[in-house]
Amino acid sequence: MRVLGIDPGLTRCGMGVVDGMVGRPLTLVDVNVLRTSSGLPVPERLVTIEKGIDAWLDEYRPDAVAVERVFARSDVSTVMGTAQASGIAMVCAARRGLPIALHTPSEVKAAVSGNGRADKAQVGAMVTRILRLDAPPKPADAADALALAITHIWRGGAQSRIDAALAAAGASTGSIPGRVRR
């Protein structure tokens, strides 16, 4: 499975592609950060992010896209930019019919480090170890994008198979006893 992890941001949007499957060593394909200037109008910055994400999707042809779920912080302007970049990432993937998974920061931290409250340095160190890299990816947005891809391979892929099996069972039996619909 090839996963494009996206750590959305209006100024720095982390992009990381990882190949692998559960129980096998994972491989770094590429990692980088899309940058936009804060001096540009937001619509232009979003177009730059869209073009960058589209280029990565065209070049690496991932099987799925994992995006960090936006969560509320005290600074509304930061949340807005992150949410806008996140929306662009989801639109780019949806346009291609790719599965999109949203993972919370604490879920990602727990998946790669075992600690949902790990700091940036711990996440970077674990990404380095998991992918057998010589040094942590810089800046932290790049490491976070890889951590998202790793999380999706380890957790999201399994969850999507479970969901598909449940959907198939529900389609053939009409419903699944005890399953709560959301």
Choose the catalytic residue: 7, 19, 54, 144: 7
pLDDT digits (tens, 9 = 90+) for 76-87: 777 899 999 999
Say what the pLDDT of residue 13 is.
98
Q: Would you list the domain boundaries of the chain?
A: 2-173
144 is catalytic: no
- 68 annotated to bind ligand: yes
Q: What is the token pair recorded at 13?
A: 């949007």
Q: How many helices (H) and strands (E) does the chain have?
A: 6, 5
- H/E element, 12: strand 12-19
Say what the pLDDT of residue 178 is.
45
pLDDT at 44 over 60: yes
Distance CA 60, CA 29 (A): 8
63 is catalytic: no
- Nearest-Å Rg of the Cα atoms of the chain is 17
Q: Are 82 and 8 in contact (CB under 8 A)?
A: yes
Q: Are 114 and 79 in contact (CB under 8 A)?
A: no
44 is catalytic: no
Say what the pLDDT of residue 177 is.
45
- 141 annotated to bind ligand: yes
CATH code for the structural domain at 2-173: 3.30.420.10
Looking at residue 15, what DSSP letter applies? E
pTM of the entire predicted model: 0.86
pLDDT digits (tens, 9 = 90+) for 112-132: 999 999 999 999 999 999 999
Say what the pLDDT of residue 180 is.
40
Choose the catalytic residue: 44, 54, 63, 141: 141
What mean pLDDT is predicted for residues 25-48?
97
Choose the catalytic residue: 58, 68, 75, 107: 68
Distance CA 42, CA 40 (A): 6
- 19 annotated to bind ligand: no
What sections of 75-156 are H helices per DSSP? 76-95, 105-113, 120-130, 140-151
Of residues 165 and 127, which shows the higher confidence score? 127
pLDDT digits (tens, 9 = 90+) for 85-100: 999 999 999 999 999 9
Looking at residue 117, what DSSP letter applies? T
What mean pLDDT is predicted for residues 36-42?
97
